[in-house]
Amino acid sequence: MKIAIYSRGIENDQHKDMAFFLEELYINKIEPVFFQDFFNQFYSAVTIRGKYTTFNSAADLDDSIDCLISLGGDGTLLDTVTLVQNKGIPVLGINYGRLGFLANIGKEDLHVAIRALANRTYVKEKRTLIHLDANIPIFNNMPYALNEFTLQKKDSSSMIKINTYLNGEFLNTYWADGLIVATPTGSTGYSLSCNGPIVFPDSGSFVITPISPHNLNIRPIVVPDNNIISFDIEGRTDSIICTLDSRRVVVPKEIQLAVKKENFCINLIRLNENNFLQTLRNKLSWGLDKRN
């Protein structure tokens, strides 16, 4: 079995955790394929037993890779979307970060997780991606995101006016600092922090959430993901910020944008004993109110 390993970086106090992780891979006869930049940060401090290789980009990941492990938080896992692309390689998130809705397996469960990978006793969940179309080339050949697409004003400029349409029919005009269109997976991310609703991963929907709207009667709305959502932007500035997950570009406000469901999904690995409800209870501390 070959498993690709990606991380944004490692702290000096995490070398012991990394050594334990690599030893578990060796014991379970798993050949690691390290992201090169990550490998350069720890290889001189940690002993690596057995065969290993490295990779630099998505082009280096082929059919021989059984899965990709993300070491970090949710932001690190979001990076892996640009690596696995439409290859179908499942992704497992080991949480070295803080909250971890996506990377929901704690590093204390590394032994269990690696054994589940080796024995293939895990569950693959298909997660919807959102696709962006624009009349000018942006985001190169990766115009998709796992969590959300956003439109935002630049820096301290005044709010923007976002005319929004569903399949060409006018929905609303949002006077706001910006607008989020989140997937079900992204409903627990930026959208949630802007008071958007939580929706189940298999709900087949998008969540449209305004960022600091001017009108108090404006609320988030859930729409079916078979809609094409398009936008016209007005404002006092010449440009706005457009994001897909953590990737951002500055674009002219005259740009024509539309989002829809991507034609492929990403596969997230979860252990049999974990599920979305359990993650919600653990991360949001639901059911722990002592008055109940």
Catalytic, out of 17, 74, 177, 245: 74
Q: How far is CA 282 from CA 54, 183, 291, in A?
A: 35, 21, 18
Q: In whole angstroms, give the CA distance from residue 270 to residue 154.
A: 38
Q: In whole angstroms, give the CA distance from residue 279 to residue 100.
A: 9
Please state the φ and ψ torsions of residue 182, each to the nearest 5 degrees. -105, 145
Q: What is the per-residue burial (b if ≥16 Cβ within 10 Å, else e) of 89-108?
A: bbbbbbbbbeebbbbbbebe
Q: In whole angstroms, give the CA distance from residue 17 to residue 169.
A: 53
Give the strand order in the sheet containing 130-134: 144-145, 130-134, 257-261, 229-234, 160-166, 169-176
Residues ≥6 apart with Cβ < 8 Å to 125: 201, 267, 268, 269, 270
Q: How far is CA 6 from CA 80, 224, 267, in A?
A: 7, 33, 16
Q: Catalytic: 74? A: yes
Q: Mind telling me the catalytic residues?
A: 74
